[in-house]
Structure 1
């Protein structure tokens, strides 16, 4: 396990020193945060041996003592090894069942349900493990920040105690390098004890040694100035030439690696096969609905409330690629396709009953032998079957089944469409996404004179072009509309947390369109099938807003579409 960053102790003199006090405060603040993060790491009780010396006899004895120590960080490899035998048995079990599925429809239905349940369990275990790792990640991050703060203090102290010549950057570099090297060695061997001043002694010595060597080197160069000038000139020409070639190479390599990372790694056969398999599930679902009355007969009346069947194939492939962390085959994703389908579509039926009456006619014979007819109202149960299909929308699912890193990868693939706009042409796949560029707009300079609005735009414009991700609320995952606005205002002076569109409206004061000004929020309703406010953006003046659309960009709210859904403007409270 990596050693924790040392907690330095400072004297009153060091705290009061004008050169060091800023570094001291920074180190103490980082140490407090590191201790808080460490306290949240799960603990376990361990039995430790503790030597004890009897002061009277000098005899050394060993006592056992229970201590709280950090739990070991869960290992991904451990989980994989632990689950491997069970997974192997399950795979063999499923293979044997599939051989008999064609002969028994009941077995097939039960098997599909079981596989979906197992896959759902895997998803939940993965999410649970990610949650368990969170305190370990936070603690490691805090320890790294404390290391940087410690180094900052020690380097400041080394400069104060042994200042370098102002015109010798090489000497400064060597001094910093020596302090860093000494700090790493002291940390590794556990030499950080006592006050910070005492701790810094070795690093100061290292700085002095570096200074002496720098002065000797400078004196040598002074005695051979002309020769060194010639060598330096040749060296600079070579550096410039190599730098041009290197820069071109690095730029090309960077561009190529960026394209490679954001490109779907799976084969066309696998991706087209996965899309075809998912589309077949949708076709089977449509067929089930079309024949619902024949297959589920016996009711007097049928009512249908049906969402549209369909999905974006790029969303499907991006989810599969992000989930598997790279390349996959069709056989590897079949279970995942079933899980995604069951999460996207829910077909349900509810039966209502009513008591109704029908007229029945009876023939009645009188005592004298004559006959006549009589009518009467007879009650009976009338049944109404309500069939409902809910489409959750495949793009809403990633945020509920993936961790933050996976959602970020999904977002990257959706922003580039895996660099495969040719894979699903809209002529053959009408629901397929297309690469969209954000609408550009130059905010008039006079609008930017308001400090709060300028702060909002400084933050908001960083993310123009990011893709729309349902539930996204940070640059790592990208954003949906309310996540985007919440992030911007939380990083522009406010502190409102992560709010939905309705929550953002609730904290605002309604403003008429005539009085709306840049920095107000603008709200819309019924932009999709939901009650209440469904979309929010930041008004930037002149009938324009900046919002998380597809992708994040500017929109003209005076178009017929936005006007038909307009709800209100809202002014944020003072921060």
Structure 2
């Protein structure tokens, strides 16, 4: 771990010196902040032996005691990627690029690759904003600020002690560089004794050497001015080129890092094997239903209420990868496959009984030997076997079986399909996801005259393109429809908490088609098997809404699907 920045002590003369006074105050202020930040770094406990002597008997006893010690390093995560989506600036940047994509096919192709990489990068990058690391980051920042304050003081003092260098920019630059180098060496070696005066003395030799070298360099430049100007020009061009190359390499490294973080790490054999094993369980379930009456005989009647059997293979692989925090083998996930299957599918039967009557005919012989038939109604028990199959939907499970970090990783993989759209082509796997581009829409300028609506859109647009995650309610996990709307309004003036679609509808005042305006909410029913309101979006004008579909994007309310399921518009209460 890098050594802490030294805490300098100043003499009264140094603190009152008009030249140094400001720099002394800056250093002292930075030192106080660094000490406070260091104090907030979590402690860990260590088990130590403690000996005690009884004064009366002289008996020695030993006991174990937990003592707090400073943590030297931040806690390690169990896997490299821990968080979910974020980076509104890049989203806006991509929207601007899309406006010109039609003019350049090459730009479009490169941009799509970049977007895919950055989607994963944004999700992975959110791991670094985890609150668990905040004290360590704040402490490191405070130490860096103190280093800068220390250097500022030492360099200013060196400049005061060598006033002849102030008129020579080159010599002054060399002096600052020498002081910085000497400071870094002294810090690594631990040669600072606490006195600012002594610390400055440790750098004075370097400053004086820089002064002598600066004078010689200035004389040399004066004698060879033309050559120096040419050399300086060439140097500046090289610096510019190197800077461009360096920036490009950083961007490339970031893109590659994003791609790596959002790519499935397991082998194709493992992933295809897991999908085949899960599909086989579904095939066995379907076979049981097809032969249910043979396997469960003895009932007079069978009634069936069956959800569809099927799953998205990308959801399965994303769950397994997020759960295991990285690469896994087929043998390692077999128990997990069984657990997921039992949570997704519940096959139950209930038996109803009814008392019914049936007509029975008896042959009766009269006393004279003749026979005739008689009919009668006989009660009996009639049994009805009700067979129900509930499919919870595999995509609904992450929010209930994973922690927030794992859901964030799951969301990341679903946003990129693990960068493996070839793994489960929709032709071979009908339920497989496909990467979907969000629908874009330009909100009418007149709608942006409303400050509240502007605040809503400022927040809402940040998450366009994020994947739909059942139960998701924050950028860290991504969103479902009500989680998205709740987040947006809670971050643009309201404070309603996390509400479902029906809850959001309940706090709104109904609005008619003629009265609806941008910023109102729009509600739908029966978009899936549930009672009441089941979907919600934000109305943005001209028959369009912004909502968490798959992915988050704009939708046209005149679409036949939304027309069929439309319930009402609603106006939010005043914040």
| TM-score, scaled relative to structure 1 | 0.69
Equivalence for 1:8:
none
Distance 1:353 1:181 in 2: 90
CA contact (8 A) 2:404 2:477 kept: yes
- Which residue number corresponds to residue 242 of structure 1? 242
Say yes or no: does 1:447 pair with 2:447: yes
Deviation at 1:492, TM superposition (A): 2.0
Taking the aligned partners of 1:25 and 1:245, their CA distance within structure 2 comes to 35
Please give the per-residue CA displacement for 1:276-301, whole angstroms capped at 9, x wherever unaligned. 22222211111111110111010011
1:145 aligns with 2:133: no
The verdict on how the C-alpha distance between 1:396 and 1:244 changes in structure 2, with shifts beyond 3 A counting, is same
Task: Quote the Cα distance in structure 2 between the aligned partners of 1:489 and 1:25.
Answer: 39
Cα distance in structure 2, aligned partners of 1:76 and 1:249: 27
Question: Structure 2 vs 1, CA of residues 74 and 361 (structure 1 numbering), >3 Å: closer, same or farther?
Answer: farther
Deviations 1:362-383 (A, max 9, x none): 3445566665544332221111
Kept in 2, the 8 Å contact 1:474–1:487? The answer is: yes
**1:339-395: per-residue Cα shift (whole Å, max 9, x none)?**
221111111101111111122233445566665544332221111100000111111
- Whole-Å separation in 2 of the counterparts to 1:210 and 1:446: 64
Give the whole-Å Cα distance in 2 for the aligned partners of 1:211 and 1:536. 69
Equivalent in the alignment of 2:571:
571
1:471 counterpart = 2:464: no
Q: Which residue of 1 aligns with 2:259?
A: 259
Contact persistence 1:538–1:546 (CA under 8 A): yes
Partner of 1:544: 544
Aligned residues: 488
Which has the higher mean CA deviation after the structures are superposed, 486-495 or 523-532? 486-495
Highest RCO, 1 vs 2 (Cα 8 Å, sep ≥ 6): 2
Q: Does 1:559 align with 2:559?
A: yes
Query: Matched residues in 1 for 2:140 and 2:560: separation?
Result: 57
Contact kept? 2:45, 2:66, Cα under 8 Å: no
Q: Which region of structure 1 is more displaced relative to structure 2, 501-510 or 224-233? A: 224-233
Given that 1:179 and 1:204 are in contact with CA atoms closer than 8 Å, whether structure 2 keeps it comes out as no
Going from structure 1 to structure 2, the CA distance change for 1:378 and 1:208 (only over 3 Å counts) comes to farther
* Deviates most, 234-243 or 174-183: 174-183
TM-score (norm 2): 0.69
Q: 1:297 to 1:461 in 2, by over 3 A?
A: same
> 4+ residue stretches of structure 1 with deviation over 6 A?
1-5, 23-28, 30-35, 41-47, 49-53, 61-68, 70-77, 153-186, 207-216, 227-231
SS at match of 1:378: strand
In the alignment, is the contact (CA less than 8 A) between 1:508 and 1:570 conserved in 2?
yes
Partner residue of 1:315? 315
Q: Secondary structure at the match of 1:224?
A: helix
Residue 522 of structure 1, CA deviation:
1.5
Structure 1: segments with no counterpart, 5+ residues: 6-16, 54-60, 78-136, 192-198
- List alignment gaps of at least 5 residues for structure 2: 6-21, 79-129, 160-165
C-alpha contact 1:158 1:204 (8 A) present in aligned 2: no
Question: What's 2:498 paired with?
Answer: 498
Residue of structure 2 in register with 1:361 after alignment? 361
What is the Cα-based RMSD across aligned positions, in Å?
4.9
Following the alignment from structure 1 to structure 2, what is the Cα–Cα distance between the partners of residues 490 and 25?
A: 36
Partner Cα distance (1:486, 1:379) in 2: 59
Q: State the alpha-carbon separation in 2 of the partners of residues 34 and 495 from structure 1.
A: 34
Match of 2:514 in 1: 514
| 1:57-136 map, 5 Å | none
- Is contact 2:37-2:139 (8 Å) kept? no
Q: Secondary structure at the match of 2:356?
A: strand
- 2-side partners of 1:269 and 1:65: how far apart? 51
